[in-house]
Amino acid sequence: MACLQRASPALKEILLKLYNAEKPMEIDHHLYEFGSVEYHIQSSASNPHFTYLSISTPLLSNQVLPPYGISYYTTEMVKALCSEVVEIVEPAKDGYQLTLQLNFTKIPHGKDSAKVITEISTVQSVILSSQLKEMLQNVNSHDAFQGMYKPIKLVYHPREPFFVIKQTQRIVAVFPMRFKEKSDVIIATAFFQELMDVGSLDKWAKAPPCTWAPIPPPELRGEPFEDLNTNGGFVSFDISSRHIEGKRLEKTVWSLLNFYAYVKYHVKCTRGFIQRRMRKRLDRLVEVLHKTNSEEDEQIKQDQDAGCGRMRRLVRPSKYHILKRRYGNLKNQIKKIRSRIKIHGFGQFRRRWLKIPKFSSSMGYKKLD
């Protein structure tokens, strides 16, 4: 699952360690993230001022981008990170798409050093986001047919592809949703319904409209069956020209790349919330049981200790009366704490999708005497 942070935490930690080292360090380290992103960090003790960072990352799509390497637009975006500190080495090292030379002597001291290194650690997110920016801005017009463009399949994660379709006045991003557990499908479906309802409010009129459907949208007709085989339906966003203008382009691109990660994060948090509520309710039931048992033992002890100054025979209550007294209070306590676990959005989902249809007959019936 993609990380919601732009900067790589592991890469940032290694670069900070090299920068803050009191003595020059000899390092030749390979770092892997998400199973397909590879970093190679090299630093020599004889020349501690320069560190070489090589990166290999899969391309989002081979339909509109070169099969290997990065485009000129992406190169310019990487150079804009920290032009004084970062320098692109050409050609890149074998097996990598990009090699950077980092000059630590030009990094300012103090708190600004951490900001600069954090900015350098975002190189992988810059490469991916620049690729998507280039697709949104420069879609091949030769693929157009009657105002429609061929869908572009983007693979940010091997098992989580999504599609981008550029039309005459809008761009449609379609996400096929897949989940392993049936409970995750229910939680995600309720979330998508809530997302549609919130997006229809006037408060969020400027946000891209969101639609969810259990079947593929018309824009994906003709795509391979394995890409359309889902159990969570399809989520679509209609992106207009105002959403990709100026600074909004960066936010839109990053939101599209991390939509899968955000949905999984929401499902995981909701599942954890339900489990915590269930454990809390179980603890309350156990507490009621212990309280009932202690009250029963105390009552029996009081009956045994009670006396009026004369000998009397203790009448032991029957098993039926003991059970009736023990579980009478338990039943009342359970009735008090019995309540539904409320999850935001589930009520509306139940009213909309789980209604029992009412049937009426046009034939009249007469009661027979």
Which pLDDT score, from 0 to 100, does residue 301 have?
65
Nearest CA to 64 among 147, 159, 157, 165? Answer: 165
Between 172-186, 291-305, 324-338, 349-363, the lowest mean confidence (pLDDT) is in: 349-363
**Band (308; pLDDT cuts 50, 70, 90):** very low
- What are the beta bridge partners of residue 240? none
Question: Is the residue at 233 inside a domain?
Answer: yes
**Band (285; pLDDT cuts 50, 70, 90):** confident
Please check whether residues 226 and 207 belong to one and the same domain. Answer: yes
Which pLDDT score, from 0 to 100, does residue 224 have?
87
Which pLDDT score, from 0 to 100, does residue 68 have?
54
Instruction: Say whether the peptide bond before residue 91 is cis (omega within 30 degrees of 0).
Output: yes
How many structural domains compose the chain? 2
Contact 176, 151 (CB under 8 A): no
Of the two residues 51 and 242, the one the predictor is more confident about is: 51
Cα(296)–Cα(285) distance, integer angstroms = 17
Please check whether residues 258 and 160 belong to one and the same domain. Answer: yes
Alpha-helix runs per DSSP H in 138-258: 182-199, 225-228, 248-257
Which pLDDT score, from 0 to 100, does residue 313 have?
46
Check pLDDT > 60 for residue 312: no
Question: Is the residue at 100 inside a domain?
Answer: yes
Check pLDDT > 60 for residue 44: yes
Cα(354)–Cα(27) distance, integer angstroms = 60
Please check whether residues 100 and 201 belong to one and the same domain. Answer: no
Please check whether residues 94 and 181 belong to one and the same domain. Answer: no
Which pLDDT score, from 0 to 100, does residue 70 have?
76
Q: What is each CA distance from 304 to 172, 295, 298, 307, 323, in whole angstroms?
A: 80, 14, 10, 8, 19
> Which residues form the domain of 291?
141-298+323-351
In the chain, the amino acid numbered 274 is: I
Please check whether residues 226 and 334 belong to one and the same domain. Answer: yes
Average pLDDT, the chain: 78
Span 282-288, average pLDDT? 82
Question: Is the residue at 366 inside a domain?
Answer: no
Which pLDDT score, from 0 to 100, does residue 20 have?
86
Question: Is the residue at 358 inside a domain?
Answer: no
Of 132, 167, 189, which closes a domain? 132
| Structure token pair of residue 41 | 């960090």
Between 237-246, 302-311, 345-354, the lowest mean confidence (pLDDT) is in: 302-311
Which pLDDT score, from 0 to 100, does residue 327 have?
62
Per-residue pLDDT tens digits for 87-138: 898 888 888 888 999 998 888 887 788 888 998 988 888 888 888 887 777 5
Question: Is the residue at 303 inside a domain?
Answer: no
Which pLDDT score, from 0 to 100, does residue 234 have?
94
Of 105, 132, 159, which closes a domain? 132
Please check whether residues 72 and 175 belong to one and the same domain. Answer: no
Please check whether residues 127 and 168 belong to one and the same domain. Answer: no
Which pLDDT score, from 0 to 100, does residue 310 have?
44
Please check whether residues 20 and 109 belong to one and the same domain. Answer: yes
CATH number of residue 331's parent domain: 3.30.1460.20
Please check whether residues 113 and 206 belong to one and the same domain. Answer: no
Please check whether residues 124 and 217 belong to one and the same domain. Answer: no
Contact 132, 171 (CB under 8 A): no
Which pLDDT score, from 0 to 100, does residue 67 have?
54
Which pLDDT score, from 0 to 100, does residue 314 have?
47
**Band (6; pLDDT cuts 50, 70, 90):** confident
Of 132, 151, 167, which closes a domain? 132
Please check whether residues 164 and 108 belong to one and the same domain. Answer: no
Please check whether residues 73 and 27 belong to one and the same domain. Answer: yes
Check pLDDT > 90 for residue 298: no
Nearest CA to 190 among 24, 359, 361, 342? Answer: 342
Which pLDDT score, from 0 to 100, does residue 324 have?
64
Cα(125)–Cα(338) distance, integer angstroms = 48
Which pLDDT score, from 0 to 100, does residue 336 have?
58
Question: Is the residue at 364 inside a domain?
Answer: no
Span 30-54, average pLDDT? 86
Check pLDDT > 90 for residue 236: yes
Cα(139)–Cα(216) distance, integer angstroms = 22
Check pLDDT > 80 for residue 300: no
Check pLDDT > 60 for residue 339: no
